[in-house]
Every structure is written in C-alpha cells, then in structure tokens.
Structure 1
Amino acid sequence: MTFHIETERLILRELRPTDLNGMFELDANPEVHKYLGNKPVKTIEESQKILDSVFNQYKQRGIGRFAAIEKLSGNFIGWSGIRLNTEYNMNGYTRYYDVGYRFIPKYWGKGYATESGKAAVNYAFNELKLTELYATTHLENEASHRALLKIGLTYIEDFYFEEEAMDLRWYKIKSR
C-alpha cells in the first residue's frame, strides 16, 4: 500500500521499514505514553513488531496509520491517520474506523495533530468513502481533546476501557 497526502507543513505517507528508528524514538518515550497506559517500548524489536502490525493492516484492511513527515526538515515526527479497529471492544464497538495521531514530544504544540487529523478525515471521507469515524483520548489529555474538536469530531461521552483500566473520552464525526 502506498499513498501520499500533503498538507501545508506535512507529508503523510505509508509507514516504511526505514521508519523503524523514528517509531522507536516515539514509542520509547515515557512522556508519549503518559495517557496511553504508561507502557513505552524498551527495545527496537518491539517497535519492529508495531511496524509489522501496521504493514499487516495495510495488506488485510487496506488502511493503517500514516507516517507524518515534517516538510521543512524532512524528519519523521510520528504518525497520524486512519485505521480499522478489529482488535478489541472500545465503548461497545468491535469494528470501526478511527482517526488518531502520536508525535515525538519536540513536535508537540505546533498544531500537527489538527493539521494531520483534518487531512486524515478528508482522506477517509473522500477517498475511502467512509461515512463515519471515531476517536478516543484519555480523560486527562486536554491537548488531544482540543485537537479532536478542531479536527471536527464531536465529543460523545466518557467511558471506562477495561482492557487498559483507563477512563477515556469517545468522539465521532460523520461525513457531510
């Protein structure tokens, strides 16, 4: 699977094997995992498993997270995009498309979540012809909450996610 989406400041493309070091930098950072269950990866092999999982999603589901590349620097800054969740029950849903993002902390606070999220929603509705998308964020993650609202999602409700023992917020957006 290959694709290329450009925004004002970002290139969103399929994740590649060459993104391994960037994925490790991202997911080994405890600050990144503060609202994700506090389980950062400890080895590059764990990051390889995450990449392999996304590659498998591309093959089996035709979609998976996108690498986010900062145009100005050419740096891998994290990921964004759409995926089809079939792995676990999230707020009563077991098969749904979600929009999400995760960035290396030095790229936080620059509006990249909103910028990439809007591009991902546009791709989902205009290219994939999806009719709705969902998202979640940790109850205490106000920055992500604000970004999801700016992207255009509507906050629906809070819920408890038993699998990770976390209080989360649930969001939805419908195609227009």
Structure 2
Amino acid sequence: MSVTIETERLILRELQETDAQGMFDLDSDPAVHQFLGNKPVLTLEQSFADLAYIQQQYIENGIGRWAVIEKDSNQFVGWSGLKLIKETYNNHFNYYDLGYRFIKKFWGKGYATESAQASMKYGFDILKLNEIIGIAHTENIASIKVLEKLGLQKINIFDYHGRAHHWLKAEKP
C-alpha cells in the first residue's frame, strides 16, 4: 500500500530511489546532525543504503519515514513520519516514533510541525494507534517545541546512544 498525504504546503509520500540526492544533501550536513550523534553521511551510496533500509520498513512494518516535498517548488525538503521501533529504548519496544529531519535551508518554515501533525493524524486515524512517542536530545530546543506544540508531553529523560534525550508521548485523542 503506497501512502500519499497532502497538507497545505507539503506532499508526504514514501521515499524512493530518486530521493537519494535529496537524502544526501540532508544527511551530509553536519548542522543537521548536531543532535544526532554528529555522524553525517559521506557518500551518495550511504544515502541509497538508507533509502533501501526505509523501503524495507514499508514492507515489513507497513510504515516508515516519508519524503516531504514542498508543493510550490516540488523540491525534496526532508523526511517526516512514523517508524515502528522494535528495539528496546527507555524500557519500551514495539512503539511508534514520530520523527522529522529537514534540509537546513527549509528550517524555520513550520514544515516539521505541518508534516508531523499529518503523520500523527495518520497514526491515530488510519493505524488506530493508542500512543505516539517522540524522542529529542535535551538540547534540541526547536524539536522539543515542535513535539510539545503537537501535544506530546515530556515523560522522562533517558540515555539514548550515550546522550540525554527527552521521552515524549501523545495519547489517542
């Protein structure tokens, strides 16, 4: 099942191999990886591998992060959406994580909020989820503000890959 969601300014759709250059532009920027472990990708091949990994999630889990396309320009601006997390983090597993990542020139336009809001609606209305989790580095104030604006509430702080992160949760309305 292929998913396409339209918001006022964005199109959210499954990631495709044609998004590799956009993914590379996104993930090769050290500023984008400031709160992600500071490990930007170095080659386009890494971006192709990331796309293949996400596409496999669509097959195995029926969900994965989506490409975010700006309607006016038809440009790839980043990704957003839900991901089923099967590993254990903060004593939880098999939960749906809300995430987003955008190319730096698209920061500050409200795209994270707009795309994440559509993703949450999909999660609660279509997937019938009871809760959605958000994880953000404790110093990533912009991301925390987006999650809180969407109704996620801070539950606790936990160690995520050696760095302090907030665990936030929204329950089905």
Q: Which runs of 5+ in 2 are unaligned?
A: none
* Residue identity matched to 1:175: K
Q: What SS does structure 1 have at the residue aligned with 2:33?
A: coil
Match of 2:5 in 1: 5
Distance 1:89 1:104 in 2: 29
1:17-32 matches, within 5 Å, as 17-32=17-32
Superposed CA deviations along residues 130-174 of structure 1, whole A, max 9, x for unmatched, are 11110100010000000001111111111112xx21110010011
Shift of 1:94: 2.2
Q: Are 2:101 and 1:102 equivalent residues in the alignment?
A: yes
Match of 2:130 in 1: 131
* Residue identity matched to 1:8: E
1:54-65 matches, within 5 Å, as 54-65=54-65
Distance 1:38 1:67 in 2: 22
CA RMSD, Structure 1 to Structure 2 (Å): 0.8
1:4-153 matches, within 5 Å, as 4-86=4-86, 88-153=87-152
Identity of aligned residues (%): 51
Shift of 1:62: 0.4
Distance 2:112 2:123 in 1: 16
Large movers: runs of 4+ above 6 Å: none
Superposed CA deviations along residues 9-53 of structure 1, whole A, max 9, x for unmatched, are 100011111101000111111000000000001011111111011
Q: Which runs of 5+ in 1 are unaligned?
A: none
Q: What SS does structure 1 have at the residue aligned with 2:105?
A: helix
